[in-house]
């Protein structure tokens, strides 16, 4: 009888929105959002509530749309990866010609062109090609993976890994894994957040699970956000590369482990949670400053740094809004459905991640054409 009564009570409660004071203790999180709460609805009703109006509707949709946006960006980026990079596309031929001629006549043993002619005629085809290759600009002559050879008398390159020869102008695009790791991290975070807001009010047990997934998503997003910046900035400097990658990855894992503690989600731990996520984000300042120091003020560095500063501003504002609960703190009950701090936080997270996506595109294009 008691079970039936409970079921009936749950069915009656279903589809009814309640106010803050009627919530069970584990669902009381924001005392400035006064009404429109769902509480302990069955899963089916909760899933269907994605199309209803309540105080989580905008939280659900902002990150669901954000997830779909990043899914589209990932597919778009994957479809755009070229099989080879046409290096000649960016070459100023008149400048190269001038550089090669200057280089050749400036060789110590070749004071003038007639001596150059004599010198060249005394060399084998192999050596001639070597001399010319050395005079080509760096990005056209050799990379870590390619060596000049003259199997058919023309300048060509051989990829040691594949063993396939190709024209000197065609090179393999740079690895995309750090960029896709970031896109994957963004999708993981946004999807987990969507589930958390959709299902978190079902029961205490499910709330515990989806909140952990939500915190893990934030930690993964912050960690993977560093991968493109660190990898493409320091791919030619293994020590800082592995130092930064391992530090931020360890930080992410520690944050996820800490979030498993039951007390982590308590309202009293809100400042601690925020501080931990901010501390993670602040560790990103070091590789960015280091990047500027190593690469100087190249246009690509200025452009990516601008995007990273914008990302920092969006995430920073998001953290402030999340922690302070502005604006509902000033007008409790006025932002229950639209305009609450958590909705603003969601939009700022998407803006920050999108800014970082744009920086990632610049890094990839830069490294496709300019290697170590």
The footprint of Zn ion (CB under 5 A) covers 193
Query: Rg of the chain's alpha carbons, rounded to an integer?
Result: 29
Closest distance of CB 59 from Zn ion, Å: 5
Closer of 318 and 360 to Zn ion (Cβ)? 318
Closer of 193 and 233 to Zn ion (Cβ)? 193
- What is 19-82 written as a DSSP string? -GGGS-GGG---TT--S-B--S--HHHHHHGGGS-STTHHHHHHHHHHHHHHHHHHHHHHHT--
Closer of 61 and 369 to Zn ion (Cβ)? 61
Closest distance of CB 217 from Zn ion, Å: 9
Closer of 248 and 349 to Zn ion (Cβ)? 349
| Cα–Cα distance list, 238 to 214, 226, 242 (Å) | 33, 16, 6
Closest distance of CB 20 from Zn ion, Å: 18
Q: Which two tokens stand for residue 176?
A: 């995309």
- What is the spatial order of strands in the sheet that 156-159 belongs to? 146-149, 156-159, 165-167
Closer of 215 and 234 to Zn ion (Cβ)? 215
Closest distance of CB 266 from Zn ion, Å: 17
Closest distance of CB 221 from Zn ion, Å: 12
Q: Which two tokens stand for residue 286?
A: 């070091």
Closer of 116 and 206 to Zn ion (Cβ)? 206
Q: Which 3 state secondary structure label does DSSP give 221? A: helix
Closest distance of CB 41 from Zn ion, Å: 19
Residue nearest to Zn ion (CB): 193
Q: What distance in Å separates the CA atoms of residue 150 and residue 140, rounded to the nearest whole number?
A: 15
| Cα–Cα distance list, 214 to 116, 148, 196, 228 (Å) | 69, 51, 6, 23
């Amino acid at each position: 009888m008691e079970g039936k009564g409970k079921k009936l009570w749950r069915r009656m409660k279903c589809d009814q929105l309640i106010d803050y004071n009627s919530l069970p203790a584990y669902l009381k999180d924001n005392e400035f959002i006064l009404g429109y709460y769902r509480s302990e609805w069955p899963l089916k009703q909760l899933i269907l509530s994605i199309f209803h109006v309540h105080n989580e509707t905008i939280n659900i949709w902002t990150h669901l749309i954000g997830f779909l946006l990043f899914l589209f960006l990932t597919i778009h980026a994957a479809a755009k990866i070229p099989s080879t990079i046409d290096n000649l596309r960016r070459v100023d031929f008149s400048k190269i010609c001038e550089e090669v001629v200057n280089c050749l006549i400036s060789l110590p043993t070749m004071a003038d062109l007639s001596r150059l002619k004599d010198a060249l005629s005394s060399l084998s085809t192999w050596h001639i090609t070597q001399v010319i290759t050395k005079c080509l600009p760096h990005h056209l002559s050799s990379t870590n993976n390619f060596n000049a050879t003259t199997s058919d008398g023309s300048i060509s390159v051989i990829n040691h890994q594949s063993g396939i020869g190709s024209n000197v102008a065609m090179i393999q695009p740079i690895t995309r894994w750090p960029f896709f790791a970031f896109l994957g991290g963004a999708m993981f975070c946004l999807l987990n957040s969507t589930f958390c807001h959709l299902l978190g009010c079902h029961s205490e047990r499910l709330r515990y699970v989806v909140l952990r997934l939500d915190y893990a998503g934030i930690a993964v997003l912050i960690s993977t956000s560093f991968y493109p910046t660190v990898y493409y900035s320091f791919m030619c400097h293994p020590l800082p590369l592995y130092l930064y990658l391992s530090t931020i990855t360890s930080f992410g894992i520690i944050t996820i482990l800490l979030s498993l503690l039951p007390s982590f989600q308590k309202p009293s731990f809100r400042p601690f949670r925020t501080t931990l996520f901010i501390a993670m984000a602040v560790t990103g300042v070091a590789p960015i400053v280091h990047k500027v120091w190593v690469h100087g003020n190249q246009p690509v560095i200025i452009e990516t740094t601008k995007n990273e500063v914008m990302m920092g501003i969006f995430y920073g504002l998001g953290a402030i809004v999340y922690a302070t609960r502005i604006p509902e703190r000033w007008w409790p009950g006025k932002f229950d459905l639209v305009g609450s701090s958590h909705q603003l936080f969601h939009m700022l997270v998407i803006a920050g991640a999108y800014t970082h996506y744009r920086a990632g595109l610049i890094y990839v294009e830069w490294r496709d054409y300019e290697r170590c």
